[in-house]
Amino acid sequence: MQSKRSSKRNYGTGSIETKSRTWYGRWRVDGEQLKRSLGPVKGSDGSGLTKKDAERELRKAMLEYKPPRNGATITFAEAGTMHINKLRILGRKKSTIEAYESTKRVHLDPEFGDRPIDVITPQDIERLQGKMLRKAKPKSVVNWIGNASAIFNYALKQGWIETNPCSLIDPPTVHKSSKLRYFTWQQLTDLLANVPDDYLGPMERTLYKFAAETGLRRGECLGLRWENVDYAAERIHVIDNYVLGEDGTPKSNKSRSVPLSKTAEADLKAHFERSEFTGPRDRVFAHPFIGKPFDASKLQKRLRAALKRGQIGEFRELVRKDGKVEMVPCLSFHCLRHTYGTMLAGSGRPPVTIQTYMGHASIRETEKYMHHAPIQNEAEQVDSAFRLLEAQAALAAAKSD
């Protein structure tokens, strides 16, 4: 009897098949394919497993799998792969999975990959951390060592090690920059003026202005559909977040809605009239020819080119892989979101309101805008406060006389 395989699945999630009235699961661990019997196919008497049951048993088998020891220990690379597979099975976002895989491949495996995980010491971690700090910023190093720590924690739970060596070292100090980069309205005007007049130009200008007027993240803008534009309620409903070619939830895992200003409404209606893709499920900022989500990397390149063309904002040196130095803009698409936050703070909106509009998980994320918010007539307010103190002091002196 030929086996029946399931449809194509995402890499790392395994597969199921039936053979001789039995469900089997297959998955890979570090290049080795594993196969396990999951149970009998459900029969007419009601006993056995449905396809959904078999899927559940497969996930359970993958989570509970421990490689045979046979005197050999698990390497760091093997433990890392199994940890990432577990995250994939648990439904972590694609961006999270890719971040772990990149860190493991680029920074961790070259140092520890072939070494047994139970012989890696805190001193080894400190040496790696020092090597990283010579090439990268402390914040990046903290993230990379944090990913390594997660792998060690996984190994700890499996009983392969007794302690997590990352927990026994001091992380580098991360000094948060006090400079919040955002577009002034003049810089935003200059940006729109330097967008090329090609087939992407009209959509691109609308996108930049819309991001500054709503505070949506880049993935939230690219994931926005026309059905989520509520003209009657004057709201934008933020439901989807398009990142790395997939729709997901917004960063805080919560949908939200933000006010739709009259200016943004007029811009969207004009954009709607130009677009060939205006169905409820069509993307607002779709590619004008094919209707698919606009490519984020291409958007970044075009934004950077427009900033260079107009010499907008500050620039910094970037050393490329070939050793050449390039001057690149400090402003980015995310700075349009910062423009929205500082604008709201400067207009006197309470921090909690700004937090709600921007989808911040913590009020601490919102507070950065309060320190950068422009305050109208602040010099006069300070001067008035000191004049009041002087008047009070003079009145007290007069009473004492």
The answer regarding whether domain 76-168 maps to CATH 2.60.120.200 reads no
Identify the pLDDT of residue 126.
93
Q: List residues bridging with 392 in a β-sheet.
A: none
Fold classified for 4-64: Double Stranded RNA Binding Domain (3.30.160)
Q: What is the pLDDT of residues 119-156, one digit of tens each?
A: 999 999 999 999 898 888 888 899 999 999 999 999 99
Overall average pLDDT of the 80-96 stretch = 87
- In the chain, where the domains are located: 4-64, 76-168, 185-329
Taking the chain, what is the end-to-end CA distance rounded to the nearest angstrom?
A: 111
- How far is 159 from 166, CA to CA, in rounded Å? 17
**CA atoms within a 13 Å half-sphere pointing along the CA-CB vector of 270:** 12
- How far is 296 from 299, CA to CA, in rounded Å? 5
Q: List residues bridging with 33 in a β-sheet.
A: 28
Overall average pLDDT of the 169-186 stretch = 84
Identify the pLDDT of residue 227.
95
The answer regarding whether domain 185-329 maps to CATH 1.10.150.120 reads no
**CA atoms within a 13 Å half-sphere pointing along the CA-CB vector of 341:** 26
Identify the pLDDT of residue 48.
84
Q: What is the pLDDT of residues 359-375, one digit of tens each?
A: 998 888 888 888 765 55
Given a cut of 90, whether residue 268 has pLDDT beyond it is yes
Res. 6 pLDDT band, cuts 50 70 90: very low
DSSP summary character for residue 354? H
Burial of 30 (0-12, 13-18, 19+ CB in 10 A): middle
- Alpha-carbon dihedral sign for residues 199, 205, 206, 211: positive
- How far is 339 from 98, CA to CA, in rounded Å? 29
Given a cut of 70, whether residue 384 has pLDDT beyond it is no
Res. 2 pLDDT band, cuts 50 70 90: very low
Query: Measuring CA to CA, which residue among 25, 86, 94, 29 is closest to residue 55?
Result: 25
Between 7-16, 113-122, 194-203, 262-271, the lowest mean confidence (pLDDT) is in 7-16
- Per the CB < 8 A criterion, the answer to whether 161 and 117 are in contact is yes
Give me the count of residues in the chain.
401
Q: List residues bridging with 17 in a β-sheet.
A: 5, 24
- Where do the H-state alpha helices sit in 134-198? 138-158, 185-193
Concatenated DSSP letters of 241-301: EEETTEEE--TTS--EEEE--HHHHHHHHHHHHH-S--STTSBTTB-TTT-SBPPHHHHHH
- Per the CB < 8 A criterion, the answer to whether 199 and 216 are in contact is no
Torsion of CA 349, 354, 357, 362, to 10 degrees: -160
Residue 296: other Cβ atoms inside 10 A: 17
- How far is 275 from 206, CA to CA, in rounded Å? 12
Residue 353: other Cβ atoms inside 10 A: 13
- Per the CB < 8 A criterion, the answer to whether 114 and 75 are in contact is yes
Contacts (Cβ under 8 Å, ≥6 apart) of 162: 118, 156
DSSP summary character for residue 117? G
Given a cut of 80, whether residue 176 has pLDDT beyond it is no
Res. 335 pLDDT band, cuts 50 70 90: very high
Overall average pLDDT of the 367-394 stretch = 67
Amino acid occupying residue 276: E
Amino acid occupying residue 162: E
- How far is 54 from 40, CA to CA, in rounded Å? 9
Give the whole-number percent of the chain exceeding pLDDT 90: 45
- How far is 103 from 150, CA to CA, in rounded Å? 12
Alpha carbon 218 to its chain centroid, in Å, reads: 10
Identify the pLDDT of residue 250.
84
Between 30-39, 112-121, 192-201, 336-345, the lowest mean confidence (pLDDT) is in 30-39
Token couple for 115: 């070494």
Write down the pTM of the prediction: 0.65
